[in-house]
Structure 1
Amino acid sequence: MNLHAFYNSKYIGDDLLIRLCSQREVTHYQQYHDLCVLYHHDQVIGYNLFHASTYISSLQDGKVKITPEFVEQLNRVLKNENQELVESDYDDRFRVGRVIQIEEHPDSDHMHICQVDTGDETLQIVCGAPNVALNQLVVVAKNDAVMPSGLIIKPSSLRGVESHGMLCSAKELALPNAPQVRGILILDENDYQVGNPFFK
């Protein structure tokens, strides 16, 4: 299981939003003290945890890094409310990749169909960035990655061509001093290696 969690104290207060299954809609919920369990029919798909900083340490605004400590603290809350415990694979799905093949999209004048080596697999990713080119080292958001904006990357079809992931810009990754111009982030060959996690 790949947990996703978000915290935004400025706009929603001391509440933690946790997703277990991103593709299902909430049909109903049940509240147990500070824990609100979200359901899609009979399946638990997420939680809202109120007064979250009381239960989870070191929360910062934005996407929450899922660590063993986080899962342990969340499971303590779930156990106290007689809920099923959760687990996570701790993979944030952001990898260093290399563009090993590129061709023009047959139904677009600006998109390209890229084959990208991510170390353990080659992904086909449709990319509309103007600066994408062969042999570049890039940041790949694989399926189920959660962007800083909250967007969850899912398999898609762009004008009839399957795409499995996204090549990211510095702005999309919310990197400090990211340029506002269009274009993916190109990584330095001396600093990064194909297959490694992008975020340390």
Structure 2
Amino acid sequence: MLIASYNPDAMGDTLIVVLAQDQPGETHQQFGDIVAISDAQGKVVGYNFFNVSQILGALSDRGQVFLTDTQVDKLNAAITAAGAPGQLVADHDPKLVIGVVNELAAHPDSDHLHVGQIDVGWPETVQIVCGAPNVAAGQHVVVALPGAMMPTGQIIWPGALRGVDSYGMICAARELGVPGAPDRHGILVMPDDLAAGTPFDMDVAIKVVAAQA
């Protein structure tokens, strides 16, 4: 997993790279313009690259940055040159994808949550807890898998809701930042011809929201 973000107005010329969920007992070590963040076992879980334009050149992206293999190679060379631990591994797997709600059951400890078994194009379904009032079996929906960064900057991680494991989130149009999204609680239902595992397409979502308005 590799999640990168760049917000120069708030943090200057700094690239933030997240490799794993925050954990208690993390430590920070600075090696020149690179800070390595490690967990309690010493495994690197993230980096801060200060003055990153000196490594990658000027970055035009704001918010999440999808690093190319060449950019990852340059960052790894900088890590090695600075004597910092670890290396980055490029991650090009989409984290916002179409999911198909194969099964939906009532949550055992809630009167409004549901437990869904969602086909995201993998060999096995993933379990996601959802509280949207309009969720139903058979729907094609947008799933934020672990490692997805939402428009707000929130990163999606595996978790649990009222004691039931949940591997991601079924998204509403507002959560995806779709222009014209309705100001009401409910997930975005996508066209049935979009196969499970298809990467999320904002243009398609805009058309769906406009048609439902």
Counterparts of 2:37 and 2:163 in 1: how far apart (Å)? 34
Query: Is structure 2 residue 18 aligned with structure 1 residue 15?
Result: no
Q: How big is each residue's C-alpha offset from its partner over 1:139-159, in whole Å with a ceiling of 9 and x where there is no partner? A: 112233333333332332222
Structure 1 position 25, deviation (Å): 4.2
Aligned residue number for residue 197 of structure 2: 195
Aligned residue number for residue 76 of structure 1: 77
Aligned residue number for residue 94 of structure 1: 96
Aligned residue number for residue 153 of structure 2: 150
Amino-acid identity (%): 41
TM-score normalised to structure 1 length? 0.86
Q: How big is each residue's C-alpha offset from its partner over 1:105-160, in whole Å with a ceiling of 9 and x where there is no partner? A: 23222211112111212112110111111211111122333333333323322223
Q: How big is each residue's C-alpha offset from its partner over 1:60-116, in whole Å with a ceiling of 9 and x where there is no partner? A: 221221331331221132132133432133224222111121122232222111121
Pair 28,194 (structure 1): closer, same or farther in 2 beyond 3 Å: closer
Higher mean alpha-carbon deviation, 172-181 vs 94-103, is at: 172-181
Alignment coverage as a number of residue pairs: 198
Q: Is the 8 A contact 2:101 2:138 kept in 1?
A: yes
2:163 to 160, 163, 172: 160
Counterparts of 1:118 and 1:27 in 2: how far apart (Å)? 32
Partner-residue secondary structure (3-state), 2:53: helix
Counterparts of 1:117 and 1:129 in 2: how far apart (Å)? 18
Bigger fraction of residues in helix: 2
Aligned residue number for residue 30 of structure 1: 29
Query: Is structure 2 residue 66 aligned with structure 1 residue 65?
Result: yes
Counterparts of 1:140 and 1:54 in 2: how far apart (Å)? 36
Counterparts of 2:97 and 2:144 in 1: how far apart (Å)? 7
Aligned residue number for residue 127 of structure 2: 124
Counterparts of 1:48 and 1:160 in 2: how far apart (Å)? 34
Matched AA of 1:44: V
Pair 160,45 (structure 1): closer, same or farther in 2 beyond 3 Å: closer
Greater than 4 Å deviation, 4+ residue runs? none
Alignment gaps of 5+ in structure 2: 203-213
Matched AA of 1:62: G
Higher mean alpha-carbon deviation, 50-59 vs 160-169, is at: 50-59
Partner-residue secondary structure (3-state), 2:77: helix
Counterparts of 2:139 and 2:91 in 1: how far apart (Å)? 28
Counterparts of 1:166 and 1:118 in 2: how far apart (Å)? 12
Counterparts of 2:185 and 2:71 in 1: how far apart (Å)? 35
Partner-residue secondary structure (3-state), 2:174: coil
Alignment gaps of 5+ in structure 1: none
TM-score normalised to structure 2 length? 0.81
Higher mean alpha-carbon deviation, 35-44 vs 60-69, is at: 35-44
